[in-house]
Amino acid sequence: MQQIETMCHIQTCNTIIVGSGAAGYSAAERLWQLGQHDILLLTEGKNAGTSRNTGSDKQTYYKLTLSGDGQDSYTEMAQTLFQGGSIDGDQALAEAVGSVPCFIHLAELGVPFPTNRWGEYVGYKTDHDPRDRATSAGPLTSRMMTEALERSVNQLGVPILDHHLLLQILTEQNQVQGVICLDMDLEKLVLIRCRNLILATGGPACLYADSVYPASQHGANGIAFACGAHGQNLTEWQYGIASLHPRWNVSGTYMQVLPRFFSTEQDGSDPREFLQEAFPCYEDMLNQIFLKGYQWPFDSRKALDGSSRLDLLVYQERSLRGRRVFLDYRQNPENREIVWDLLSPEASAYLRKAGALQDTPFARLSHMNQPAVDFYRSRGVNLAAEPLEIALCAQHNNGGIAVNSWWHTQVEGLFAIGEAAGTHGVYRPGGTALNAGQVGALRCARYIAANRKGDPDDLSSSNQDHLHIWKEWIAALRSRPENAQNIAAHLRRSMSDGAGAFRSLSRMEELHEQVQSLLSHFPDPIGAGSGKTGLIQALRLRDQLLTMEVYLTAMMDYAKHCQHSRGSALYQTVDGYLPHISSAVIPELFRFLPDDGSLNHQIQETIYSPEGSTTNWRPVRPIPDRSSDFFENIWRGYRENQNISDE
């Protein structure tokens, strides 16, 4: 990497990868292995981010079936992904085809995916999965992936610039020219020229207060939108029940062992098992808790009479009634003995097959999934002795930055991979996110190595001026007392209350006006104070405002465009239906119209503008037809490097 010593701290390289999670490290490794060594990995913190710091009972990796005698194919897996709705077929095919080499590569790097005695990578069904394509290395699968890829990147000698905060992507005539970032240790601006930029910055964790994203995760989608990248399916999220301390998904086994739900006042008084008022039949309540493990993400299709009613009740208890909500593994619901034969055949058969008929939820969890118990113990929580506080939390953004089948955005030289890329559509099988991050890294690395080598162009005069603008902004932020943290917290709380799993058009419009006002007057009235933390929070707030403006625009457009709820969100509708919950007081916020499927073959795109973002809808791209592929023609195209192009 060439470095030019100037007062502006300018550096130059061919490709910058922003982010040190599983996707970012994978992109750096792939580029280096493809002979593209003029690269730099830039990160706010090597130990931060979602990949390294989140998981679940057994975090899933989704790939083509690699065990047993069941049939599977790339086309069938692509169709499974495509059927999730509002997903482009070429991306679905790329993720299916890339799943095997990317998975095997991780296994060869040492990620301990289990095999049987014959070496088959055994699998299981996950949500929205018709086959046994899912596998797991345990609660910390993504951390193991990140650490394995990090070891490989370090062994290769890839340069890493730690503690640098991305502030702006510089473009000229819709082409990447470089980035401006903040050296967080020295509190100095750095400008890095580049020809290619890969955003592996994760999802927009800055949006929600009720969130399972780690506190170290922020995202940078707003910065991408501001430079001309489009947003895609920004309305589509996954929300699910998660613990608050630590932030962790309580899916799968955590629910299948049938824990007790209860709530208290803020001071811990008045404990009561609030599910009883909704499910007077004890066995029906147990069956819904069990299904919540299989069907963990909140799903509008299961909100009227399915297991997602539990999410509604948890949200109502905590956010509308102001109580704290807990899972208790010390005793059965209502402290009653469970008669296993009275459960549904699905629940009874599963628990019997697992040998999980012990007397308490904790005993059943320890028997079925000891690593899930060990995780909480390692974080200072003893599930055998204390309850676990929970909430309905934002967990994953299925939408994000729009990319093509090479994970290339509308801005030439700008790529987005991992959760930053909006490739998932409305529904996705559990574990596809980990696969998509690896496939996207491989695809964009191949594209860059084949088509985008060489030095970056000289900076335009307008881009040179941006350094001075940022210096002026930082001086203005320093001149006022620190208030960015409070502003950011207020905005996140407002998003969770009106634009999360339950969305109100009027509340979204009110919040959008607040965001636009703050954004249009930035850096006024925001203050950073004199400390380092205040400055970093104030600078991150700008990305949060940009992100919120674009996401709220997309959500408001959807609410006006189609009153039907889909995916993991309910849009309040006066002429809709209320969930079937016995004798419970159900607020009007939960009144909705189920999805009619009318938008399944369309994708919503959102384009940022300082004057206000806009949206449009386009048809999905179909799964490519490869029936006319002929080996000699494909081979010639491969030899002549014609198979790696945007066409």
The three-state DSSP-derived secondary structure of 242-277 is: EEECCEEECCCHHHHCCCEEEEECCCCCCCECHHHH
DSSP codes of every residue in 468-506: HHHHHHHHHHHTS---HHHHHHHHHHHHHHHBSSEE-HH
Three-state DSSP string of 374-418: HHHHHCCCCCCCCCEEEEEEEEEECCEECCCCCCECCCECEEECH
Query: What is residue 583's predicted lDDT score, i.e. its pLDDT?
Result: 65
- Closest-CA residue to 501 (of 320, 327, 328): 320
- pLDDT higher for 548 or 7? 548
pTM of the predicted structure, to 2 decimals: 0.96
Give me the phi and psi of 507, to 5 degrees please.
-70, -35
Query: What is residue 599's predicted lDDT score, i.e. its pLDDT?
Result: 95
d(CA 462, CA 496): 38
8 pLDDT above the threshold of 70: no
d(CA 240, CA 392): 5
User: Are 393 and 208 in contact, with CB atoms under 8 Å apart?
Assistant: yes
Average confidence (pLDDT) over 637-643: 90
Query: What is residue 445's predicted lDDT score, i.e. its pLDDT?
Result: 98
Local confidence band at 11 (pLDDT 50, 70, 90 cut-offs)? confident
3 pLDDT above the threshold of 70: no
293 pLDDT above the threshold of 60: yes
Vertex 335 angle, CA 330 and 338, to 5°: 100
User: Are 569 and 631 in contact, with CB atoms under 8 Å apart?
Assistant: no
Average confidence (pLDDT) over 241-247: 96
Average confidence (pLDDT) over 550-575: 95
User: Are 515 and 612 in contact, with CB atoms under 8 Å apart?
Assistant: no
d(CA 201, CA 422): 13
Query: b/e map of 305-339 (b: 16 or more CB within 10 Å)?
Result: ebbbbbbbbbbbbbbeeebbbbbbbeebbeeeebe
As beta bridge partners, residue 11 has: 3, 192
Give me the phi and psi of 464, to 5 degrees please.
-65, -30
Which DSSP symbol is given to 21?
Answer: S
d(CA 606, CA 232): 6
Torsion over CA: 95, 36, 200, 216 (sign) = positive
| pLDDT tens, residue by residue, 312-331 | 999 999 999 999 999 999 99
Local confidence band at 294 (pLDDT 50, 70, 90 cut-offs)? confident
Give me the phi and psi of 97, to 5 degrees please.
-65, -40
Distances (CA, A) of 523 to 134, 239, 370: 46, 32, 50
d(CA 25, CA 146): 7
Tell me the helix, strand and coil percentages in the chain, rounded to 5. Answer: 40, 20, 45
User: Are 196 and 455 in contact, with CB atoms under 8 Å apart?
Assistant: no
Distances (CA, A) of 331 to 284, 327, 347, 375, 536: 18, 10, 18, 20, 45
Query: What is residue 9's predicted lDDT score, i.e. its pLDDT?
Result: 61
Average confidence (pLDDT) over 33-46: 97
Q: Which residues contact 144 (CB under 8 A, 6 or more apart)?
A: 111, 112, 137, 138
Region(s) of the chain under CATH 3.50.50.60 = 2-236+398-451
User: Are 407 and 421 in contact, with CB atoms under 8 Å apart?
Assistant: yes
Tokens of 647: 């066409």
4 pLDDT above the threshold of 80: no
Tokens of 175: 């082409």
Average pLDDT, the chain: 95
Query: What is residue 5's predicted lDDT score, i.e. its pLDDT?
Result: 34
6 pLDDT above the threshold of 70: no
647 pLDDT above the threshold of 70: no
Query: What is residue 185's predicted lDDT score, i.e. its pLDDT?
Result: 95
Considering the domain 2-236+398-451 in this protein, what is its CATH number?
3.50.50.60
30 pLDDT above the threshold of 80: yes
